[in-house]
């Protein structure tokens, strides 16, 4: 183990001991917010400390086996040390503070006309089916149906443990190659949609929406919903004047609920814009293999005639398009997360060198 890594682990063990003392103090719960934060940090450090204890035990076993010239035992101890060091490096990777958040998922039809709208509908079903498999809740925020089915645009809120950690690499351009139902000659067409996955902002801490910076308009809901929806101007359009961002919500019959949902989406978009600007500042020094998350970046192709799905960022092709379109996304999402983690480990090693 490199001295720099050992020094870091020793300081974390010392920090855990410090937290244990403060959490055991009589007035520990006087500040509940601080108590919760300290408890969370202590739990994270305890996991790392346990791995470090196991590593040092294996290190002691290796030293004893070397002194006693026990070749097989020495080999086993060194193998344990190697495995535990790899686990420690993974445990030390920086945590994404957004990973446990709910998300807003936005799907927009792009090039390809009606076929693009149909593909947007297919993507919407794919993510909805995946959310069902994860036992997450899906709330429709707004929809703009296309003429032949599918959507010009659809926005949903997905509520569930770790939703952002699972879906955060889905932002970007999704391309489909297939024979449209309206194609009489049987020719393959190429269409595209864009997907945006935004972590939900905390109501108070993350984004402060100044009422003076907002223009809020009401209008009658269109599309599905029946005559009752159209009798009142319950739909809401919120414009954030400094950025020009516009959000509409017409899902509920309640103007108040639509306003609340629209402000939630707006806060998430503003937060996403701030995060993108921050990431752009560091992108010149290092670009993660998973890609920039730019909405214009083509990340995946769904080829129906060949039954394959290809993720271009990690050069992964799976010949199971029907299962993927039915929401079986784990193999894709796990591969993306693994590649991202590998890149993080490489960066960690370079910084420690």
Q: Which pLDDT score is estimated for 183?
A: 73
pLDDT at 302 over 90: yes
191 in the same domain as 131:
yes
**DSSP structural state of residue 253:** S
Task: Indicate whether 222 and 300 sit together in one domain.
Answer: yes
Domain-ending residue, one of 91, 124, 147? 91
Instruction: Name the residue with higher pLDDT: 91 or 166.
Output: 166
Give a yes or no: residue 44 inside a domain: yes
Same-domain pairing of 70 and 209: no
Residue 291: pLDDT band (50, 70, 90) is: low
Considering only 107-116, 127-136, 324-333, which range has the smallest mean pLDDT? 107-116
* 286 domain residue, yes or no: no
Alpha helices (runs of H) in the chain, residue ranges in sequence order = 3-24, 32-67, 71-91, 113-133, 163-167, 226-231, 255-283, 321-325, 330-352
- For residue 249, count CB atoms less than 10 angstroms from its CB and return exposed for 0-12, middle for 13-18, buried for 19 or more: buried
Per-residue confidence (pLDDT) for residue 289, from 0 to 100: 42
pLDDT of residue 229: 44
Share of the chain above pLDDT 70, in %: 88
Verify that 240 and 195 share a domain, yes or no: yes
Residue 287: pLDDT band by 50, 70, 90 thresholds?
very low
Residue 352 lies in a domain: no
Is the same domain home to 147 and 296? Answer: yes
CB 49 within 8 A of CB 17: no
pLDDT of 284 > 50? The answer is no
Whether 191 maps to a domain, the answer reads yes
Domain boundary among 91, 124, 146: 91
Spatial separation of the C-alpha atoms in residues 198 and 34, rounded to whole Å: 28
Helix (H), strand (E) at residue 155: strand 151-159
Domain of residue 48 covers: 3-91
Residue 14, pLDDT > 70, answer: yes
Asked, for residue 226, whether it belongs to a domain, the answer is yes
Q: Final residue of a domain: which of 68, 91, 114?
A: 91
Is position 311 within any domain?
yes
Q: Same domain for 83 and 117?
A: no
Residues 74 and 133 in one domain: no
User: 108 and 87 in one domain?
Assistant: no
* 172, 41: one domain: no
How many domains does the chain divide into?
2
Q: Is the pLDDT of residue 328 over 80?
A: yes
Residue 353 domain-assigned?
no
Identify whether residues 185 and 299 lie together within a single domain. yes
Question: The domain spanning residue 260 has which CATH number?
Answer: 3.30.70.1660
Q: Are residues 321 and 197 in the same domain?
A: yes
* Tens-digit pLDDT profile for residues 236-266: 888 888 888 888 888 777 888 888 888 888 8
Query: Among 113-122, 149-158, 292-301, which stretch is predicted with the lowest mean pLDDT?
Result: 292-301
Assess if residue 121 is contained within a domain.
yes
Higher pLDDT, 7 or 277: 7
Same domain, yes or no, for 48 and 189? Answer: no
CATH assignment of the domain containing 58:
1.20.58
């Amino acid at each position: 183990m490199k001295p720099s890594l050992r020094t870091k682990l020793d300081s974390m063990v010392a920090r855990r001991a410090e937290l244990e003392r403060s959490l055991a103090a009589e007035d520990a719960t006087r500040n509940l917010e601080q108590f919760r934060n300290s408890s969370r940090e202590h739990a994270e450090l305890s996991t790392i400390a346990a791995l470090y204890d196991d590593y040092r035990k294996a290190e002691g076993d290796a030293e004893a086996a070397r002194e006693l010239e026990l070749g097989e035992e020495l080999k086993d101890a060194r193998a344990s040390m190697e495995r535990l060091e790899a686990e420690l490096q993974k445990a030390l990777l920086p945590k994404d503070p957004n990973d446990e958040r709910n998300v807003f998922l936005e799907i927009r039809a792009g090039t390809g006309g009606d076929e693009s709208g149909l593909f947007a509908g297919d993507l919407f079903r794919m993510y909805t089916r995946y959310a069902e498999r994860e036992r997450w809740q899906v709330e429709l925020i707004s929809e703009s149906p296309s003429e032949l089915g599918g959507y010009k645009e659809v926005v949903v809120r997905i509520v569930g443990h770790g939703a952002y950690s699972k879906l955060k690499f889905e932002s970007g351009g999704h391309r489909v190659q297939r024979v449209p139902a309206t194609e009489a000659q049987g020719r393959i067409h190429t269409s595209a949609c864009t997907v945006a996955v935004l972590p939900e902002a905390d109501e108070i801490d993350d984004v402060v929406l100044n009422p003076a910076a907002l223009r809020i308009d009401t209008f009658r809901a269109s599309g599905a919903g029946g005559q009752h929806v159209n009798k009142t101007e319950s739909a809401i359009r919120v414009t954030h004047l400094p950025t020009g961002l516009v959000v509409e919500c017409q899902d509920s019959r309640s103007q108040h609920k639509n306003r609340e949902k629209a402000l939630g989406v707006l806060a998430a978009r503003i937060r996403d814009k701030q995060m993108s600007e921050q990431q752009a500042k560091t992108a010149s020094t290092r670009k993660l293999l998973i890609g920039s998350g730019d909405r214009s970046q083509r990340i995946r192709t769904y080829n129906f005639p060949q039954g394959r799905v290809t993720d271009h960022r990690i050069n992964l092709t799976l010949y199971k398009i029907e299962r993927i379109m039915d929401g079986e996304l784990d193999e894709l999402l796990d591969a993306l997360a693994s590649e991202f983690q590998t890149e993080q480990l490489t960066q960690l090693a370079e910084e420690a060198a």
